[in-house]
Structure 1
Amino acid sequence: GATGGDGPAGDPAEASASGSDTGSGPAAGPGTASGPAPGMGRFLAVALGQLITITGSALTEFALPVWIYMETGSMGKYALYAVIGMLPGILVGPLAGAVVDRLDRRRVMLAASAVAGSTQAALLTLLLSGNLSSWHIYVLLGMLSVALTFQRLAYASSVPQLVPKRYLGHANGITQMAFGFAQFIVPLAAVALMAGIGLKGILILDVTGYAVAITVLLIVKFPRTLPWTRRESLVAEIRNGFAYSWKNRGFRAMLLWFAALNIFLSPLFLLVTPLVLSFDSLESVARVAVAGGAGAILGGIAMGFWGGPKRNRMQGMLGLAGLLAVASALVGVRADLWIIGIGAFGMSCALSMVNGVYTTIVQIKVPQRFHGRVFALNTLVAWSTLPIGHGIIAPAGSAFFGPMFEDGGSLTSTVGALIGTGPGRGIGFMYLLFGAAMLGLVVVGLRLRVLARFDLDVPDALPDDLVGIQERERRVKAARAKKAKSASPAASAAPSAVTDSSPVTDDDTPTHDHTPTDDDTPARTVEAAR
């Protein structure tokens, strides 16, 4: 247990040695206060604030590239926006993960939200003064990408701190629903807002949203379930975080599986617009986007009520990925808006649930003190193939398969007889082909022993506050044994009391020698330690 506040607790015995008030050891022993208890109400308040910022940022991310293209007419500058919006955040991910694990996550969220809100305020100020130009946007966008990475990792890592373990799946479903809501509302509202209040009004809404989110974070106190502060350097933290995931066969296999999946999945989300425009209008693109957003919301709601599989979560996630593959293939069956809309709905719904179950797996299998670094590494590895999908496979595949479905093309009389011919049918064939490839990856994942047995071979992590209590008890027993040994020579023949405790080491190396309970609240883990 800890004694108030939101950060990691310190060990009084080592505080004097380190010269700090918090020290660098585990939490205080049983019987001490532990601050507010985890609960869904506390999480929902934070999630509401994050929903407001996610929606506001999505509106801005839609409006800014449109403003750049309308002002400059340059497709190159338009594309550069997407690169700058993603690349800095990916590159800073390992550092952000280590900082999130090292510091108070609530304060990291506050600082990141303040920087992101200030960036939007700077854009608004430049726009109102008439001095906003493309290079201003790129510089501030890079800052925003970095700030949002810190905010996203701190938020994802704080969920198990805010919510009891048995509700993690439900909480992650609500988180996915928030992203789905933003995806749903932006196509409906962005065009109308751009025409009505313009970029200026959208930026005002975004800055106001960040002010609300910061206010919520200032009011809501986080439970104090992280009993460790850092002895290691920041570089060592980053290295240890990488080692935690990469040296574990199960996590390494999962990361590589996701990286392979994204090679085929990322082009499909990018190609929805050209597929629809090949036979219909821009208004129809918006309708399909709304269908996709509705699917993401439904997937989040389903996860919120269901909570994901209680056992065999990895196999459940692979099964949901199979539904994602089937929905992707459906998009390419015919040049029909209803079929494409249903397919886009299914893709977003399944993807939302896959992400929800995956997040729950990480939060349950990885100790809280590693969450920031593990999420950062997972993002770095899984997203490493996105540039390949977006920049190479999508345009090259469209150019390669398109002529095959034109008049006289090599597939006109065979596959074309089933899915149709003409403009856009090459893209449709990519959906069928890549959907089959993703389904093949699912089959491979289910047959790979390291993934099929993931839930059995990788034990659940102990709550960090319980680890701290056990470590403190180990040290007390060790000190008593040493004192008894020095007082009586006969004590040397007695078994050491140290061997009865948890082998948690001081260098933050995780162990999984205990079976965790489903209740993560500090009060109950104290009772368990007794």
Structure 2
Amino acid sequence: MGTQGKHRLGHGYWMLFASVSVSSLGDGLRLVAMPLLALSLTHSAVDISLVMVVAALPGLLVGPLIGVMVDRLDRRRILTAAHVVRAGLVLCFATVIVSDRTALWQVYAMTAALSVAELFAESATFALISLPVPPELLEKANSRFFSARMLTQQVLGSPLAGVLFGVAVCAPFFAEGGLFAVAALVSLLIPVLRRPGAAAEPQAPPAPDGPRPSVLAQLREAVGIIGRYPLLRTILVSEMVLNFWMLIATALMVVYAKRDLGLTDTQYTLLFSAAALGSVLGGLLAPVLVRRLGVEWTMALALLATGLSRLALGLTTGPWLATATFFSCGAAVFVWDIAAASYQQRVTPNHLQGRMLTTLYAFSYGAAVVAALTGGLLSELIGVRAVVVVGAAAVLLIGAYWLRLALRGRPPSTGALAPMDAATVS
């Protein structure tokens, strides 16, 4: 990350980068510690899969409303408030664990509450990233941002969570709460962000004449953006199918790793570290692939690689190949995420990005809820390994569809994108 790159991405981008990197380390602790805590309370695959259900429900039920709030209010303050709320929730939960009175319903309640706060933080961050960054550098900015988040979550957070969980069940949660508090302090230092070349830095989009549009009208405006771009609709449908099958396996991964693969707690956490290291490769590849091949080819290659990696995971019996599949899957999924996020930011006016993202999330989380419910039932009928294999086949089918789009010779989508709006918001 040379001086010239930092200058072009902007000081505001790097302050946002620092804040979210710290909070992502806290997220990494919870991603491992919460399933391990749930597994210590129940050995039912259905009960464990319900953790994924309650994590996805807020995005499905209130996600679009959160997006409207993010677009109406100061996004920097929303980000800070979200970190503060998460710090308070996790620290209170850690004290409950210390009392040795933890119940499964408390795990569900905490997961849901943290998901709501995380929605505020993620939608605000998504909209803020594109402000200090020139449009031609969005893939680069998202690559570095997502890479740092993945590395802090998986390479640092996941192994640390396993170690802390072995010391004391409450330890990773106390550490997570402290990290959220630090992230809140850093987010207070984020300056008012503006688009490069903008002459002014207003705190919100210019107010329209007359009364402010209703919440329903603002939601329709976001849906209109999705309907305007065929490729955006294709990304949405693909992500729904991808989330459905991928999250079935994800919801049951702790069960699959411990029962079918016979992994220890340390080996289980190393799976996520391998995925994070793979994401570093994906972060390097994504900007190059999008620039040289276009969105369709990039998406096709990413999905096909994801499907093949998951298929290998479903067929393996040992820890080393499982770790390798997480590495390759992490790289492929990362390429998809960066390409999709950059396209969405580029074609969506900034004052709509909060509700546009949460509207997309609502569809994806709907698929996640069905996936978590279906996954638990399917695992009881055919076994977790078979669920992983079927999911891999579904991802390969999506990849084949994108390959068909690419082979039809459509022009690269990056060459015909709508210009980003000139409004500056914070």
1:229 maps to 2:210: no
Q: Does the aligned pair in 2 maintain the 1:265–1:434 contact within 8 Å?
A: no
Give the distance between the partners of 2:412 and 2:360, measured in 1 at CA. Answer: 16
Deviation of residue 114 (structure 1)?
A: 2.0
Partner of 2:277: 294
Q: Does the aligned pair in 2 maintain the 1:261–1:441 contact within 8 Å?
A: no
The change in CA–CA distance for 1:260 and 1:197 in structure 2 (over 3 A counts) is closer
Partner of 1:464: 422
AA in 2 matched with 1:289:
F
Deviation of residue 351 (structure 1)?
A: 0.1
Deviation of residue 160 (structure 1)?
A: 0.5
Cα deviation, 1:385-423, whole Å, max 9, x if unaligned, reads 2233333257537844x6xxxxxxxxxxxxxxxxxxxx9
Partner of 2:198: none
1:183 maps to 2:154: yes
CA RMSD of aligned residues (A): 3.4
Decide which of 59, 62, 78 is 2:32's aligned counterpart: 62
AA in 2 matched with 1:293:
A
1:440 maps to 2:418: no
Give the distance between the partners of 1:429 and 1:69, measured in 2 at CA. Answer: 23
Decide which of 217, 224, 244 is 2:225's aligned counterpart: 244
Q: Does the aligned pair in 2 maintain the 1:38–1:223 contact within 8 Å?
A: no
Q: Does the aligned pair in 2 maintain the 1:126–1:132 contact within 8 Å?
A: yes
Give the distance between the partners of 1:332 and 1:129, measured in 2 at CA. Answer: 39
Q: Does the aligned pair in 2 maintain the 1:97–1:374 contact within 8 Å?
A: yes
Give the distance between the partners of 1:228 and 1:77, measured in 2 at CA. Answer: 48
The change in CA–CA distance for 1:125 and 1:212 in structure 2 (over 3 A counts) is same
Q: Does the aligned pair in 2 maintain the 1:169–1:307 contact within 8 Å?
A: no
Give the distance between the partners of 2:110 and 2:317, measured in 1 at CA. Answer: 40
Q: Does the aligned pair in 2 maintain the 1:116–1:147 contact within 8 Å?
A: yes
AA in 2 matched with 1:345:
F
Give the distance between the partners of 2:252 and 2:115, measured in 1 at CA. Answer: 24
Deviation of residue 361 (structure 1)?
A: 0.4
AA in 2 matched with 1:228:
P
Q: Does the aligned pair in 1 maintain the 2:59–2:358 contact within 8 Å?
A: no
Give the distance between the partners of 1:328 and 1:141, measured in 2 at CA. Answer: 26
The change in CA–CA distance for 1:427 and 1:313 in structure 2 (over 3 A counts) is closer
Q: Gaps (5+ residues) in structure 1?
A: 1-36, 403-422, 469-530
Partner of 2:88: 118
Decide which of 353, 356, 366 is 2:338's aligned counterpart: 356
Partner of 1:430: 390
Partner of 1:26: none
Identity, in percent, stands at 19
Superposition map of 1:205-220 within 5 A: 205-220=175-190
Deviation of residue 65 (structure 1)?
A: 4.5
The change in CA–CA distance for 1:248 and 1:300 in structure 2 (over 3 A counts) is closer
Give the distance between the partners of 1:306 and 1:38, measured in 2 at CA. Answer: 18
Q: Does the aligned pair in 2 maintain the 1:271–1:427 contact within 8 Å?
A: no
Give the distance between the partners of 1:71 and 1:337, measured in 2 at CA. Answer: 25
Decide which of 152, 160, 164 is 1:193's aligned counterpart: 164
Deviation of residue 93 (structure 1)?
A: 1.0
SS of the aligned residue for 1:385 comes to helix
Q: Does the aligned pair in 2 maintain the 1:291–1:345 contact within 8 Å?
A: yes
1:341 maps to 2:323: yes
SS of the aligned residue for 2:291 comes to coil
Q: Does the aligned pair in 1 maintain the 2:143–2:284 contact within 8 Å?
A: yes
Give the distance between the partners of 1:180 and 1:335, measured in 2 at CA. Answer: 26
Give the distance between the partners of 1:464 and 1:440, measured in 2 at CA. Answer: 38
Deviation of residue 45 (structure 1)?
A: 2.4
Give the distance between the partners of 1:142 and 1:439, measured in 2 at CA. Answer: 32
AA in 2 matched with 1:191:
G
SS of the aligned residue for 2:417 comes to coil
Q: Does the aligned pair in 2 maintain the 1:109–1:150 contact within 8 Å?
A: yes
Give the distance between the partners of 2:62 and 2:160, measured in 1 at CA. Answer: 32
Superposition map of 1:16-95 within 5 A: 39-70=9-40, 78-95=48-65
- Give the paired residue count: 405
Deviation of residue 345 (structure 1)?
A: 1.1
TM-score when scaled to structure 1?
Answer: 0.67
Q: Does the aligned pair in 2 maintain the 1:311–1:455 contact within 8 Å?
A: no
Give the distance between the partners of 2:311 and 2:29, measured in 1 at CA. Answer: 29
1:374 maps to 2:356: yes
Partner of 1:522: none
Q: Does the aligned pair in 2 maintain the 1:177–1:301 contact within 8 Å?
A: no
Give the distance between the partners of 2:370 and 2:377, measured in 1 at CA. Answer: 10
The change in CA–CA distance for 1:187 and 1:118 in structure 2 (over 3 A counts) is closer
Give the distance between the partners of 1:143 and 1:268, measured in 2 at CA. Answer: 23
Q: Does the aligned pair in 2 maintain the 1:38–1:161 contact within 8 Å?
A: no
Give the distance between the partners of 1:158 and 1:175, measured in 2 at CA. Answer: 12
Deviation of residue 55 (structure 1)?
A: 1.7
Partner of 2:237: 256
Q: Does the aligned pair in 2 maintain the 1:101–1:372 contact within 8 Å?
A: yes
Larger Rg: 1
Give the distance between the partners of 1:300 and 1:161, measured in 2 at CA. Answer: 20
Partner of 2:200: none
Deviation of residue 88 (structure 1)?
A: 1.7
Q: Does the aligned pair in 1 maintain the 2:155–2:273 contact within 8 Å?
A: yes
**Which of the two has greater helix per residue?**
2
Report which structure shows greater RCO (CA 8 Å, sep ≥6): 2
Superposition map of 1:148-187 within 5 A: 148-181=118-151, 182-187=153-158
AA in 2 matched with 1:439:
G
Q: Does the aligned pair in 1 maintain the 2:37–2:169 contact within 8 Å?
A: no
Deviation of residue 256 (structure 1)?
A: 1.5
Q: Gaps (5+ residues) in structure 2?
A: 1-6, 196-203
The change in CA–CA distance for 1:265 and 1:191 in structure 2 (over 3 A counts) is closer
Deviation of residue 146 (structure 1)?
A: 1.0
